[in-house]
């Protein structure tokens, strides 16, 4: 959010769905944290279509988050064919970014650093989210991994700086 506040009109894209009381509470808290001047788009599934026609005044898009978006998509189509569909949708979303002028700040979680999930769906989720994260990281100018509240600049580390 601090990065997004640095200039211009902001569009906050939320992928969470209020499916239970706990998530409704989280979403309400997130809404309260955002500046009132930011526009909000709530879209849990079809991000590429929802972002097809950004207003020219939008300087920054905050996409929060790929983690829930991949989960939403996977649960919608719970079969191995969903993986290819999700990757294709991720590419469509990256094309939207590349075709526009806004700066994008994309939030995601690294779920591959923990235990191996004990269910097939959990393992598929971990793997497909990892692939989506890699694709976004490849196209990003900067990739920050937050560890204990501190940013680690992965692209700078990778470049050997």
Q: Which residues are catalytic?
A: 30
Give the three-state DSSP class for 64: strand
| Burial per residue of 35-64, b for 16 or more beta-carbon CB atoms within 10 angstroms, e otherwise | eeeeeeeebbeebbebbeebeeebebbbbb
Is the Cβ–Cβ distance between 42 and 14 less than 8 Å? yes
Q: What CA–CA distance (Å, rounded) separates 126 from 128?
A: 6
């Amino acid at each position: 959010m601090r990065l997004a506040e640095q200039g211009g009109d902001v569009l906050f894209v939320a992928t969470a769905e209020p499916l239970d009381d706990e998530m409704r509470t989280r979403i309400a808290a997130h809404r309260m944290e955002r500046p009132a001047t930011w526009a909000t788009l709530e879209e849990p599934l079809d991000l590429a279509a929802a972002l097809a026609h950004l207003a020219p005044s939008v300087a920054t898009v905050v996409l929060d988050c790929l983690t829930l978006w991949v989960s939403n998509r996977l649960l919608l189509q719970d079969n191995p064919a969903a993986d290819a569909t999700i990757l294709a949708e991720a590419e469509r979303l990256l094309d939207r970014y590349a075709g526009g002028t806004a700066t994008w700040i994309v939030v995601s979680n690294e779920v591959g650093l923990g235990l191996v999930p004990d269910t097939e769906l959990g393992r598929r989720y971990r793997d497909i989210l990892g692939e989506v994260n890699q694709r976004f990281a490849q196209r990003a100018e900067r990739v920050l991994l937050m560890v204990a509240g501190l940013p680690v600049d992965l692209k700078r580390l990778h470049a050997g700086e």
